[in-house]
Structure formats: C-alpha cells, structure tokens
Chain A
C-alpha cells in the first residue's frame, strides 16, 4: 500500500477535519460527531435533503452538501454504511420543519440503517421522512420489472438526482414534490463503468481483488463489485461503444431526445483520458440523434485510487432540464 496518510484508522476523520478546515462556509457537523456532516446554511421551512454512505468515493457523498443541493451527509467508514444514530442526528439537524428526504445509493446496509434512522426521527422527533434510493448501474443487474425491487447498484448518476431534487427543494417545493422530482430523476439516469486497476482500503492494506495488467473490468462497481466481463484492454472508442451499447437501450432513446452526459473518473484516471472518452461519446450522440444539453467531466464518484471511468446518461425533459440548470454551490460542485 502506497498512500499519503498518517494512521489508516484515522483516514476518514482526518479527511473530514481537512474538509471542515477548508470549507467552513459550506459545511459543519452536528451532535459533536465529525461524521454527522450538515450544511452551514440551513434554510428554515425548506425540505432537508440527506444522503450518506461509505467513505472512499469523494466527491461522493458529502461533497454535494451546500447551496442548491444537499443539506446533510452521514459519513461511514471506508466502503462502510453509516450508523442509524448518525442518520438520526443529521435528520434532526437538517429538518427545517418541512420534512426530510433521503437520497442514497442502493446498498442493503445503507437501506437498513437509513430506515432505522428514519424510524428514530419519526418516533422521537415526529419528523416526516421520505426516501428515494438510486440504483442505475446497468451492469449490476437486469432492469426491475413492474412492481419488482430494483437490484441495481447506485453509482455516479446519483449526482443528477441530487442536483434536480436539490434545486426543487431550494425553490421551497414541499416534500412530496421534491420526492417526485428525485424519483423522476432516478428513473431517467443510467450508468456503466470500467475499471483498470483495483483499490485498497487503508485499514485493509492490500487490494481486495486484482485486474491483470493488460486487462479491464467492464461493468465493475465502485467497491470493486464484479461487472459483466474482464477482458483485454481496448482502445477508448471501443470501450465507450461497449458501454453505450448497454446504456442506450436501457431507457431507451429516440432521435431528438435530450441528455446530460456525466463522464466520471474513478480516482486515478487523468482528465486527459476522460476527455478522450468524452470526444467519442459526443460523436456517438450525434450519430444517434441525441442532443447533449450539458457535459459534466471530472471526478464525481470515485473508488479510492481505482483507475477507470464511468459514463452516466441523464434523459431530460423540460422540467428536469430547468432544475439541472439551476445554480448550485458546494465544495465540489459549482454551477452559475
């Protein structure tokens, strides 16, 4: 393991101390607990939006707490779920009287702990909580049939859900309406990733899996979950084609549709390479007759020092487009 750290066991808390030092105008913490992160700019009467999940994915999850997006984040250990107590404390702090919406990724541990936190908030504080679970990784499971539970993992595309729901909440929409927007956004986003190298949890000290030097893992999740196939590394354009072949039909799209494209580096892939990928996505969108309303390129949801990237396509209608375009400012996401 080669990492710029002090002690592995202090990894998460020291990262948080750095964040609080750098961004006091955006974030602080509650309940005397560094891992209960909340906005510094609470708005009374606004629906509070809370997320959370394991550490090791910056900017996800906490990086989107700020103006026009999220209000709180329950920070877990590296790749570990936050506890119900954290969820409860953050919920209590961000509730401005209009209720709280949870938006987080589709992982069993997170679901149970957020549900438990919601029970506590309801029972002890009478706070109304609603939940939207994002799961958009097309490589992780088949699409859910009508009435069936969604088994797909939540990955980078959740940023679009944060953005639209956050914009709706900032306009003082009520909890039902913010939830409706979040559900709609979650239903319109699809993601797929590819990994080139594994990642190491500091307290473990060695990677939990391997990818051969000349290979890539198509469809791998952001904790190293197995994807669709491992195979020889191919040129960027071919990789993009294989990913779009899965992503596009899943919605599906027709000529004239509009999308937002998110190209996400997994931690150790240079922006140069991400733009090489973006170049080919743009060509393919043109061929498909899909209009790209906005590109987001950079790191949004990483897996420690994993090399690789993911593509998220977010299908837009007038309502979502307008919310996506609304201004927002957080430590990791700024849009005028």
Chain B
C-alpha cells in the first residue's frame, strides 16, 4: 500500500474524534478544563486536511507536515504531544513511499515513544500511554504472528480499549487529574480514551 493509507488513517482518526467530541469534553471536565474534545477534533482535523491536500508521496513528510499542522491548530499540551507523535512517526517512515504492516507498527511505536519521552510519563500513571501501549504491543505481536493489518489493528483496538478501562483505577500523577489525588481512581482518563479512539480509527482505516 502507498501513503494513501496514512491519509485514510488520519481521516478516520479525525472522524472518530468528531464523533466522540462531547464524550471527551465530558471526561476532561471532571478534572480538567474540558477543552480536550476541542483540541483533539481541531488538531486531528488540521492534520488530516493537510495530509489530504498535500499530494505528498513520502510517508515521512506526509506525517511530519500533518504533525506540524496539528501543533499550530492545537497548541495545548495534549495537542502538542499528539503532534510530536505524528512527527516522530514521520521520522521513522522518512523516504518511504510504499508501506507494509510492519511500517504501521513502527509508526505507532515511534508515536508512543515521542509521547512518553516528551510527556515525561511512564506506564501506570493514568495517561494516554496506558491506553496506547497495550494497543501498540498487540498490533506488533499480531503482525509478528502473521495476522493481516486488518486483523492486527482490530486486536490493537481491543487491547487499547481494555487499557483505557484498566487505567480508570490508576492514581493520576500528571496534569489536573493529579490534583484529585485518590479520588482520581474513580475517574476515566481522557488521554487514555484518546488512545483507544486512535486505535479504533486504525482498525476502521485497515478494515
């Protein structure tokens, strides 16, 4: 497959964020300022629009430009981290015009790595990563054992959803939810929800 897969992927992420806008606002309002639904829809919309209209055939450049557009459109912490994820993902695919399943796994692994290092967060701290990491791992292991991209992204979406659910009982240590202390163990994490939505979109784009 060529880079049109990535355009489709960004389009599905943007669409999924749009569909879940109110849900994200609600989740984020419990402890944060509720703007996550706005920054995620605006940010991924800008990323998709840029990718769709660019005519770019280099997978790396396409993702880099999408990330750059997202950072301009959604300059919040979460928006910037998602943009850095796209850009880091672009770095590992730089120069590629043809993509295989393994490249998509590499893209998501680089995306996770960027969010982890730039966000200075570890697994188990009730963040985006707790939804994303199980998805990235499931994607890679399914592909390694011979699954198709469609099958592997479906597994990834399920694992990310499980991760999002498991993150609920974790203690928040980052951002505004951390202020809630032990009470944060009763709250769904909006970042982990974004992670589950991205993996859900990947499954939709690969089906």
Question: B-contacting residues of A (Cβ < 8 Å)?
Answer: 83-85, 108-109, 111-113, 115-116, 119-120, 122-123, 149
New A-B pairs, 4, CB < 8 Å, besides A83-B75, A112-B80: A108-B77, A115-B84, A119-B87, A123-B64
B77 adjacent to A123 (CB under 8 Å): no
Q: Does B50 contact A (CB under 8 A)?
A: no
- CA of A282 to CA of B81 in the docked complex: distance in angstroms? 46
B37-86, CB < 8 A from A: 60, 64, 67-68, 71-72, 75, 77, 80-81, 83-84
Q: Pick the residue among A108, A109, A116 that contacts B71 (CB under 8 A).
A: A116
- CA of A118 to CA of B84 in the docked complex: distance in angstroms? 11
Q: Does B131 contact A (CB under 8 A)?
A: no
* A108: nearest chain-B partner, CB-CB: B77
A-chain residues with CB within 8 Å of residue B71 when the two chains form the complex: 84, 116
A-chain residues with CB within 8 Å of residue B118 when the two chains form the complex: 111-112, 115
Q: Provide the main secondary structure of the chain A interface.
A: helix
B-chain residues with CB within 8 Å of residue A112 when the two chains form the complex: 77, 80-81, 84, 118
Q: Does B90 contact A (CB under 8 A)?
A: yes
A-chain residues with CB within 8 Å of residue B80 when the two chains form the complex: 112-113, 116
Render B112-149 as a binary contact track against A, CB cut-off 8 A, 1 for contact: 00000010100000000000000000000000000000
* B119: nearest chain-A partner, CB-CB: A112
- CA of A83 to CA of B71 in the docked complex: distance in angstroms? 10
Smallest beta-carbon distance B207→chain A, Å: 31
A116 adjacent to B90 (CB under 8 Å): no
- CA of A85 to CA of B69 in the docked complex: distance in angstroms? 11
Q: Does B88 contact A (CB under 8 A)?
A: yes
Smallest beta-carbon distance A89→chain B, Å: 14
B-chain residues with CB within 8 Å of residue A149 when the two chains form the complex: 120
- CA of A240 to CA of B88 in the docked complex: distance in angstroms? 47
B77 adjacent to A116 (CB under 8 Å): no
A116 adjacent to B84 (CB under 8 Å): yes
Smallest beta-carbon distance A92→chain B, Å: 15
- CA of A68 to CA of B60 in the docked complex: distance in angstroms? 38
Smallest beta-carbon distance A94→chain B, Å: 21
- CA of A111 to CA of B118 in the docked complex: distance in angstroms? 8
* A111: nearest chain-B partner, CB-CB: B118
Q: Offer 23 A-B interface pairs, CB within 8 angstroms, sorted by A.
A: A83-B75, A85-B72, A108-B77, A109-B77, A112-B80, A112-B81, A112-B84, A112-B118, A113-B80, A115-B84, A115-B118, A116-B71, A116-B80, A116-B83, A116-B84, A119-B84, A119-B91, A120-B68, A122-B91, A123-B60, A123-B87, A123-B90, A149-B120
- CA of A112 to CA of B118 in the docked complex: distance in angstroms? 7
B120 adjacent to A123 (CB under 8 Å): no
* A149: nearest chain-B partner, CB-CB: B120
Q: Pick the residue among A83, A85, A113, A123 that contacts B91 (CB under 8 A).
A: A123
